[in-house]
Structure 1
Amino acid sequence: MALQRSSLALQHIALLEALPLQRLDALAQRCQWQSVAAGTPLLLRSEDKSDVFFLVSGQLRVTTYSASGRQVTFRDLQEGEYFGDISAIDGKPRSADVVTLKPTVVASLDRSGFLDLLRSEPIVAERVMRNLAALVRQLSDRVIDLSTLGVQNRVHAELLRLARAAGIVDNQARLDPAPTHAELASQISTNREQVTRELNALRRDGVLAKDGKALVVADVRRLASLVAEVRGFA
């Protein structure tokens, strides 16, 4: 469904923060705006498209599937983030699938418009470089975890990452709604049964607790200590 172009909505995109209103107005007019239902693919791996998307509202998952059909999830995107910049920069096909998790509004900017933006707004170019550097570090850490840690330790590391993203208060973090066991399995390249076994063990040890639809990390320091021990940081 087509939407009215809105520079006000673009003010909430972190990449575009503090750009002049006139610049945002021009970007809003150049973007294509869409409202997309939950569970809808927005991008497909190997698709030969190079638009950059600004996530105005909703939630997305960056994922892909192996030849056998096994899902591998890279990360979830929240309101105010952007995606699609890798293909816009190098002109090559998409490297992953992107699927909506909630009803979502996106604004998409064509490749030439995005490259023009980088050339004319140094602060935007710097933010893109910083985000790409952070992504390389994140993926490097993940490769190391997948290569060196057992399933138990990978579950601990992923829960700690989710806890820090959700926010830690008084040594606790609330994941609401709780990630499903299948979602956690796709994040750490294992199966749902192994995740279930490790979560049950953490609940017995008092590290995790259920609270309605939420999962509470009841002892973040203990969880961080478990992760640090196997990574050699203790």
Structure 2
Amino acid sequence: MDYHSPISLRTNGHEQSSLLDLLEGRAADLLARRLRIPKAKDLEVSAAAMPPVLILITGRLTVYASTHKGVDVFMTDLEPGEIVGEAPAFGNDEFPLLVRASEESQAWAIDQRRFVRALTTHTDFSMAVMHAMCRRVCRLHQRLVDQVSLPMRDRLKAELLRMAVTEPDGALVITWMPTHEELALRIATQREAVTKELAKLARTGVLVRNGRSIRIPSLPRFVAHMVD
């Protein structure tokens, strides 16, 4: 399997292949298969379950850590090209994960042994995997900083910004809006506090709600409201 192919990432002046590009061209070499994951489908990620390593192609996978008391703690949303399930591939089962498809999704599924073998024998694949893992870890670090340094209302606004996409007119839109209970899990607070703060933001016009979507007309105004 030759991973020295056309490239799309650049780090410190050196170009690197993106993980999805590599898999698109070499899925057969890894025996990677496309997996369709229906909305609301739950997948257990632990050494006991022997799951494949998943690389998200489209859709949204939400990752939770399962505690010994049976509480699912929100960790992160996977973005396309990011990985989940690599820890069991290395025999690490201290923190089993629950992966839920927040919307219908597609992912590459790779057998754990083939995944580890590719990491040890193909440099471009290893670099692309590290890029993907670093993106996820950086978001987790930022979330940890928010949890210990920001009050609840600012954690909520930071979470809304993470979920938003920018439209051509400069407005921010969240097309997939979690429930208030899910938002509360994401920022470690109570559902009632989330409901109260969202209602306040809507009254002041900082955000506009339309069913399950939210529109933030002005980013500068939203940011200014965060530091009031």
TM interval, short-chain normalised: 0.7 to 0.9
SS at match of 1:61: strand
The one-letter code of the counterpart of 2:21 is E
Which consecutive unaligned segments of at least 5 residues does structure 2 have? 1-17
Task: Determine whether 1:172 maps to 2:176.
Answer: no
- Indicate the RMSD between aligned Cα atoms, in angstroms: 2.9
Q: TM-score, normalised by structure 1?
A: 0.75
Partner of 2:65: 64
Which residue is 1:31 aligned to? 32
Would the alpha carbon gap of residues 109 and 187 (structure 1) be closer, same or farther in structure 2, given more than 3 Å must change? same
Shift of 1:116: 2.0
Aligned residues: 211
Cross-structure match for 1:115: 116
- Amino acid of the structure 1 residue aligned with 2:172: A
Q: Which has the higher strand share?
A: 2
- Secondary structure of the 1:54 match is strand
The answer for unaligned runs of 5 or more in structure 1 is 1-13
Match of 1:84, as an amino acid? G
Alpha-carbon contact 1:50-1:91 (below 8 Å) kept: no
Deviates more, 1:48-57 or 1:132-141: 48-57
| Aligned-partner Cα distance in 1 for 2:162–2:191 | 19
**In structure 1, C-alpha distance between the alignment counterparts of 2:213 and 2:104, rounded to whole Å:** 21
- The normalised TM-score by structure 2 is 0.77
The 1:65/1:19 distance shift into structure 2, 3 A limit, reads: closer
- 1:38 positional shift: 2.6
Instruction: Point out the more displaced range, 36-45 or 138-147.
Output: 36-45
Residue 4 of structure 2: aligned partner: none
Q: Larger % of helix: which? A: 1
Separation in 1, partners of 2:80, 2:40: 16
Q: In the superposition, relative to structure 1, how do residues 18 and 52 fare at CA in structure 2: closer, same or farther (>3 Å)?
A: closer
Cα drift, residue 45 of structure 1 = 5.3
Describe how 1:1-234 pairs up with structure 2 within 5 A.
14-18=18-22, 21=25, 23-27=26-30, 30-31=31-32, 34-44=35-45, 47=48, 49=50, 51-66=52-67, 70-88=71-89, 90-93=90-93, 95-163=96-164, 166-227=165-226, 229=227
Q: For 1:184-227, what per-residue CA distance to the aligned partner results, in whole angstroms no more than 9, with x for missing partners?
A: 11110112110011111111222100134321112222223444
